[in-house]
Structure 1
Amino acid sequence: MKNQLVVLALFLLSVTNPVFTVAQSNDEPQTLFQKGEPINTENLGVFVAPSFGFTQMDGAGATLFNLRAGVSIKDQISFGAYFSTSMNDMVPQSETVPNVYMDYWTVGGFAEYTWNASKLVHLTFPLYIGYGEVQMDNEIGEAGLGEANFFQVEPSALIEINLHRLVSLNAGAGYRIVGNMEYRNLNQSDLSGLTGYIGLKFNIF
């Protein structure tokens, strides 16, 4: 009987005594997202970055329009998707059919590291990995000369200048590395090469 009374007294003490109650609450498991607390997005940002590229493919000058959009973490690590396409009529020096020109486009993803983003002038290093296509075409889009697809990687380095809290100007270069491909008189070495870039970056938030 004495033992039962002792157990009952300890139980009542643990329920009513605040010391015991605090000790019990401290034993709750810790989780990544605590109940009732919103996810912290303070270190996340979203951006869009259009740019123009200038390069050569098989001796033909090309102007490229490049658009990328992504998410940044602490203004240092970024990742997202991109699309790039030729804007002018390229005539490869190895092409023998008259009145045709070459179209080029590529799409894929990118990862980027930015060094000292808070400084007025800083460096950023995008790495593009994607899938591309070239095709000979004519004015009515019926050249009938087929197309070729390839895998592409392009490491780049840009100098970036903060024009505004949400806008920056960038310029630099990348080297386009095209995977194994054969198309008419072209191969991967004819499409690989250096590209100069100039563009803007708009931080949405």
Structure 2
Amino acid sequence: LRPLVPSNLELHTYEGECWLAVTPFHMSDIHARGLPPLPGLSRFPELNVRTYVSFADKPGVYFFSLDAANSLAVLAARWLYALPYFKAEMRVEMREDEVAYSSRRRKGNSEFRGRYHPVREVELRQPGSLAHWLTERYCLYSVSRNHVYRAEIHHIPWPLQDAEAEITTNTMAESAGITLPQTAPILHFARYLEVLIWPLRRIE
């Protein structure tokens, strides 16, 4: 991962190992503080590929890509947060506890298809555990023209459930130049999480 992450950011490791997350989800009720959700901009699927970094000892996430089904949201996020958003054709279907999720980027061969469902009850993960380390992140970083930017994030601890998945296609990491190891992924499911995000701020 080191050649793919800007040198301004340090790779953050857990017990000496870097981690990569491929996260499909569906956003809803998106709005600026004090304003109602805008029609056509407040609900859409998104799929991101991220790793874990730190800057000045503050851990956060770094995105290799973020695919979304809403063209206006893609343009707005690129402008407001300097993040690598891409327009994709996406579909999400809920059947009882199972989610069927598909995404194909309009340009290139980035694609994800799979089904997943929770297999255990919600469990709040303890500090020091890998699941806690992966999910309890409270900022994102982006780098533009060699300047580092940070956006603060707030949410309650993730209400995680262990999960099972049948993934038939996943070229999301490959499109970022990353070869996934031939090991089984760690799978988590969250039914809902409310997130607050602040504007991007230059820190270097």
Determine if the TM-score, normalized by the shorter chain, exceeds 0.5: no
- Using structure 2 for the length normalisation, give the TM-score: 0.32
- Using structure 1 for the length normalisation, give the TM-score: 0.32
Q: Which has the greater radius of gyration?
A: 1
